Structure 1
Amino acid sequence: MDQRKSYYDIHKAVIVCDAHCDTVDRLMKDKTDLGTRSKNGHVDIPRLIEGGVDVQVFASYVGGSKKPKGYYFNLAKRKLDILRTQFAKNSKTISLALKLSDVQKANQSNKISAILAIEGGQSIENDINNLHIFYDLGVRIMTLTWKSTDWADASQQSMKHNGLTDLGKRVVKEMNKLNMIIDVSHSADKTVLDVLNASSDPVIASHSCARALCDHPRNLSDRLIKDIANAGGVICVNFYSLFLDQKFKTDTDKKLKPKPPSFTKIIDHIDHIVQVGGIDCVGLGSDFDGMDAPPSGLEDVTKMPKITSALLERGYLDEEVAQIMGGNFLRVFGQVCGI
């Protein structure tokens, strides 16, 4: 580290990306504006600015139990409409990014880049054409499954399809053609392997941790980390204490209501993923506003500079910090969605 630079100087100099938040759900619940600083939740524009976050992926979550046909498509579309309206309303500070050059232009104008994602492939209602509708609405990332996708097994349910079905493989191929990023967070291990075999593009895990450090089915095994890395993909570390810390998970399973661990657990997972897959395969995916137990010291997005500081303290070089904080994610975004 250059002794003349503070960690905050470095944090401001790099493009910081968060690959997953569920803020639209809080906006709907609280009937609030993205441009207004809130006392609730984790993310809004004023706090993104304070935290030095340059690129925020806003997911429209559509997971859950079986619903009548059309329910999940309409829910996803409604959430996307709300987000697009919020971006337009706050256009002086945030803009929608469809490709890498949009991020670069926004960064030059001191604006936050917003990337739209859908969390849950059931949103397409088993109809490939709906992928095109979502793409035209600005969606550039789709998490294939949560718990109720008919064509892809999820990590927290019994195996029904042995990974991806034939339709699931068609979805993967169509996402490749559309230049839409495939997100394997929430996918069962076999689903991830099937996706990697079917996809011609690198994939991301937008909000997942390392299973070797916290044995939860939502986390990725070392084999999957290696395979995603070898395919040019990125694992974005989740900030949820239940996925970060084995003791927190064990005590939660026992209903003991444990205190969240230190945010340095995030750095531990980054270290492990780097050791297994290399420096090119790791990023950040907070899951802010989608979970209720962030680690101590990282209570909301304003605390993001602490990650830069902790990475430097662990001995990462400035250029490696830039990769972890956003460069690796942007590489995949540009490769898949276009420059």
Structure 2
Amino acid sequence: MNGYRTADFHCDVLWKLLDNPELSFADDETNKLDVTLPRLRHARALLQTFAIYIPERMEKTVVPILHSIDLFHRKIVAAPGMRFVRGPEDMRIARENGEIGALLSLEGADGLQGDLALLRVLFELGLRAVGLTWNNANWGADGAMEPRGGGLTGKGRSFVEECNKLGILLDVSHLSQQSFWDMADVTKRPLIASHSNTQTICSHPRNLCDDQVRAIIAMDGLIGLTYVPQFVRADGKAGVDDVLRHVEHICGLGGANHLMLGSDFDGIDNHVVGLSHPGEVYNLYDSLVKRYSDEQVKAIFAENTYRFLTTYLPN
């Protein structure tokens, strides 16, 4: 890919490691992981964000979150060539040294139960991005699949304000429409959608409507193109060209400098044809370079993310 680096803002490797601690990120001989160290090297990754996701069957406390952070430190950050990203300088060093940055996020804050002290502890342990909900409702907000479509609770608003104070990035990908607009109203810092596409191209509740896309652009946020087949194309039979339709639409709304990658690898059972793991990201590159300039493709692949993180991560 002619020296291009890649940055991906969402994968669920930690969930699989939590479910099966015997799996190896550094050398997965079982082929049960999409994202592995060799595949990230093959993709010339500059950054991979690793999401903590606690499945419904586990307890809604901080305990499995802490177990996930332990796995992040022991199995991801400790792998050769990985650099733990907590601030802008870590991103700069990763680029200079040819390392792969590892950023820690939380997908669904159910286990914190609105306790801001726990949020502050997780920040000290390296948490740098958080999505308040998964698909359902919790103590802080309604998620994208919650039928009542409510917004932030009082605790949710306090949570957003505390994230702003700490410098934790706020991720809207799983929020209901009302929760999104409530969060946009409360936050003083840009929002990201780590793994969401556009409803205009594929009408799914997990995707963003055009007004949401415009709002994220206006606040200097980022939107992560995701490879979840049913978020790419309504019938789920998606190929790389279907992903490009979302790129074209967001760029048409003025979002060329606000696009990034947010694969959702390891959080999906089915894949976009030609995008089943990081080692296949060259297929997306090959399609993009036929339609966009080198500068635009570099921006989508890593440069928009690098600029954002070196600007908005806490020092």
Interval containing the TM-score (normalised by the shorter chain): over 0.9
* Aligned: 1:304 with 2:281: yes
- Counterpart residue identity of residue 310, structure 2: G
Looking at structure 2, the residues matched to 148 and 80 of structure 1 have their Cα atoms a distance apart, in angstroms, of 24
Looking at structure 2, the residues matched to 330 and 130 of structure 1 have their Cα atoms a distance apart, in angstroms, of 28
Residue aligning to 1:333: 309
Looking at structure 2, the residues matched to 20 and 206 of structure 1 have their Cα atoms a distance apart, in angstroms, of 6
RMSD, aligned CA: 1.6
- Counterpart residue identity of residue 223, structure 2: I
Looking at structure 1, the residues matched to 256 and 40 of structure 2 have their Cα atoms a distance apart, in angstroms, of 25
Residue aligning to 1:74: 63
* Aligned: 1:132 with 2:128: no
Deviations 1:33-90 (A, max 9, x none): 211034223111011101222200000102537x76xx33111111111111113531
Looking at structure 2, the residues matched to 159 and 19 of structure 1 have their Cα atoms a distance apart, in angstroms, of 29
Looking at structure 2, the residues matched to 28 and 152 of structure 1 have their Cα atoms a distance apart, in angstroms, of 25
Residue aligning to 1:46: 38
Residue aligning to 2:252: 275
Residue aligning to 2:74: 85
Report the 3-state secondary structure (helix = DSSP H, G, I; strand = E; otherwise coil) of the residue aligned with 1:304. helix
Looking at structure 2, the residues matched to 75 and 294 of structure 1 have their Cα atoms a distance apart, in angstroms, of 27
Deviations 1:72-122 (A, max 9, x none): 3111111111111113531x3112111122122122222111000010021
Looking at structure 1, the residues matched to 28 and 110 of structure 2 have their Cα atoms a distance apart, in angstroms, of 32
What displacement does 1:335 show? 2.5
Residue aligning to 1:57: 49
Do the aligned partners of 2:6 and 2:43 also contact (CA within 8 Å) in 1? no
Looking at structure 2, the residues matched to 308 and 203 of structure 1 have their Cα atoms a distance apart, in angstroms, of 26
Do the aligned partners of 1:16 and 1:54 also contact (CA within 8 Å) in 2? yes
| Farther off after superposition, 218-227 or 143-152 | 143-152
Residue aligning to 1:37: 28
- Counterpart residue identity of residue 331, structure 1: R
Residue aligning to 1:151: 140
What displacement does 1:148 show? 3.7
Residue aligning to 2:14: 24
| Farther off after superposition, 172-181 or 118-127 | 118-127
Count of paired positions: 312
Residue aligning to 1:100: 88
Do the aligned partners of 1:236 and 1:282 also contact (CA within 8 Å) in 2? yes
Looking at structure 2, the residues matched to 63 and 188 of structure 1 have their Cα atoms a distance apart, in angstroms, of 19
Do the aligned partners of 1:202 and 1:332 also contact (CA within 8 Å) in 2? no
What displacement does 1:301 show? 0.9
Residue aligning to 1:5: none
Residue aligning to 1:254: none
Q: 1:88 to 1:202 in 2, by over 3 A?
A: closer
After TM superposition, the structure 1 = structure 2 runs for residues 248-259 of structure 1, keeping only pairs within 5 Å, are 248=236
Looking at structure 1, the residues matched to 177 and 6 of structure 2 have their Cα atoms a distance apart, in angstroms, of 29
* Aligned: 1:322 with 2:298: yes
Do the aligned partners of 2:171 and 2:192 also contact (CA within 8 Å) in 1? yes
Do the aligned partners of 2:13 and 2:266 also contact (CA within 8 Å) in 1? yes
Do the aligned partners of 1:181 and 1:333 also contact (CA within 8 Å) in 2? no
What displacement does 1:328 show? 1.8
Looking at structure 2, the residues matched to 165 and 202 of structure 1 have their Cα atoms a distance apart, in angstroms, of 20
Moved over 4 A (4+): none
Deviations 1:158-194 (A, max 9, x none): 236x311121111111101000000001100111111
Report the 3-state secondary structure (helix = DSSP H, G, I; strand = E; otherwise coil) of the residue aligned with 2:45. coil
Do the aligned partners of 2:11 and 2:262 also contact (CA within 8 Å) in 1? yes
Looking at structure 1, the residues matched to 77 and 174 of structure 2 have their Cα atoms a distance apart, in angstroms, of 31
TM value normalised by structure 2: 0.94
- Counterpart residue identity of residue 62, structure 2: F
Residue aligning to 1:113: 101
After TM superposition, the structure 1 = structure 2 runs for residues 138-217 of structure 1, keeping only pairs within 5 Å, are 138-146=126-134, 147-159=136-148, 162-217=150-205
> Runs of 5+ in structure 1 lacking a partner?
1-7, 249-259
Residue aligning to 1:220: 208
Looking at structure 2, the residues matched to 107 and 330 of structure 1 have their Cα atoms a distance apart, in angstroms, of 9
Looking at structure 1, the residues matched to 283 and 179 of structure 2 have their Cα atoms a distance apart, in angstroms, of 34
Deviations 1:114-159 (A, max 9, x none): 0000100213221111110110110100011112421211110123
Looking at structure 2, the residues matched to 140 and 23 of structure 1 have their Cα atoms a distance apart, in angstroms, of 17
Deviations 1:250-284 (A, max 9, x none): xxxxxxxxxx3212211111111111242122111
